[in-house]
Amino acid sequence: MFPQRLKEIRTSQNLTQAGLAAKLGMARNTVAMYESGGREPCPAILHRMAEVLGTTTDYLLGCTPGHELESPASCESANVRSVREILKMLDQLDERGQSDVLQFVKFRLSQQEGGGRP
């Protein structure tokens, strides 16, 4: 769903792959890989894409039907605000830092699923 949604909203805004790539600070072929399904963006890039395209990450991922942004007060639960805060912090980390966070989350999930505690 993500590749189709990304291309749909990019073209609806008359953006080329190169134009979107420039706004995101990446190579055109990276956007092409996202649109072909050959590659998936990290959470920080996904968040940035939504900002640049004026939509939500939920829309890009296929969780909601419309891509128009609602007013934050009317649509954000406490959980959504927490996720946004996490994504903003994650976006400030370099690639190594993002990888470290991902590994830690995977570790904690495996502990939780196994019933183990640190």
Specify the pTM: 0.56
Give the pLDDT confidence score for residue 83 in this predicted structure: 80
3-state secondary structure of 58: helix
Give the pLDDT confidence score for residue 74 in this predicted structure: 41
Give the pLDDT confidence score for residue 116 in this predicted structure: 59
CA distances from residue 14 to 25, 28, 69, 105 in whole angstroms, order as listed: 18, 15, 19, 38
Give the pLDDT confidence score for residue 86 in this predicted structure: 86
Sequence-separated (6 or more) residues with CB below 8 Å from residue 88: 47
Which is it for the CA torsion 80, 84, 89, 91, positive or negative?
A: positive
Region 2-93: CATH code: 1.10.260.40
What number is the average pLDDT over the span 87-97?
A: 89
Residue that wins the pLDDT comparison between 63 and 93:
93
Asked which of 14-18, 89-93, 96-100 is least confident by mean pLDDT, the reply is: 89-93
Task: Report domain extents, the chain.
Answer: 2-93
Q: Is the CB of residue 47 less than 8 Å from the CB of residue 89?
A: no
